[in-house]
């Protein structure tokens, strides 16, 4: 298997992150996004919550926390670990998708999908009420007994 790293980010910051679970031996990284945070002006409370969550997620494994420009930091991290694959759980955030696109120029990026609350195909309706009418039955139906089950999507 090629060398791979796991990238944890603020939309999937748990010890049972699907990418983390899939590669228990791989080095893992969380990056405080310096250019984003410089303009977002978040309170310290928020950053500490992320830090505490990242530390717990990375407990007991080869895990690292950085501050820096995300793509450049991950690129350097991959080179340091002689890795050519990045495993990461998806996010709908446009910033995440931009970073993945940039990383794909140099690395294979394997993206995992967390289990959704409901399966939805097509465009978002204009109002929640229309969404709820279509998903209510599925939303209330359990698929397991709780923490936890995830599936891999694709690369």
Is 1 or 133 the residue whose CB approaches other proteins more closely?
133
Nearer to other proteins, 2 or 12 (CB): 12
| 87-to-11, 35, 44, 82, 120 alpha-carbon distances in Å | 14, 23, 29, 14, 24
DSSP string, 104-130: HTTSEEEEEEPPPSS---SPPPSSHHH
Q: In the complex with other proteins, which residue's Cβ is closer, 72 or 104?
A: 72
Give 1 or 141: the residue with its C-beta nearer to other proteins: 141
Distances from the Cα of 6 to the Cαs of 78, 83, 85, 138, 140, in angstroms? 10, 10, 9, 32, 32
CB of 124 to other proteins, least distance (A): 4
Going by DSSP bridges, is the β-strand pair 63-68/28-33 parallel, antiparallel, or unpaired?
Answer: parallel
CB of 127: closest distance to other proteins in angstroms? 8
């Amino acid at each position: 298997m090629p060398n791979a790293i796991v990238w944890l980010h603020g939309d999937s910051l748990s010890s049972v992150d699907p990418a983390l679970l899939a590669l228990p031996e791989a080095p893992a990284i969380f990056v405080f996004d310096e250019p984003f945070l410089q303009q977002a002006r978040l309170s310290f409370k928020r950053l500490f919550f992320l830090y505490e969550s990242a530390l717990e997620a990375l407990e007991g494994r080869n895990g690292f926390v950085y501050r820096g420009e995300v793509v450049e930091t991950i690129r350097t991290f991959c080179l340091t670990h002689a890795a050519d694959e990045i495993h990461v759980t998806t996010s709908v955030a446009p910033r995440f998708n931009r970073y993945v696109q940039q990383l794909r120029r140099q690395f294979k990026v394997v993206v995992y999908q967390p289990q959704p609350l409901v399966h939805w195909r097509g465009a978002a309706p204009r109002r929640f009420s229309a969404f709820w009418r279509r998903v209510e039955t599925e939303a209330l139906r359990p698929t397991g007994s709780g923490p936890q089950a995830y599936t891999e999507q694709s690369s």
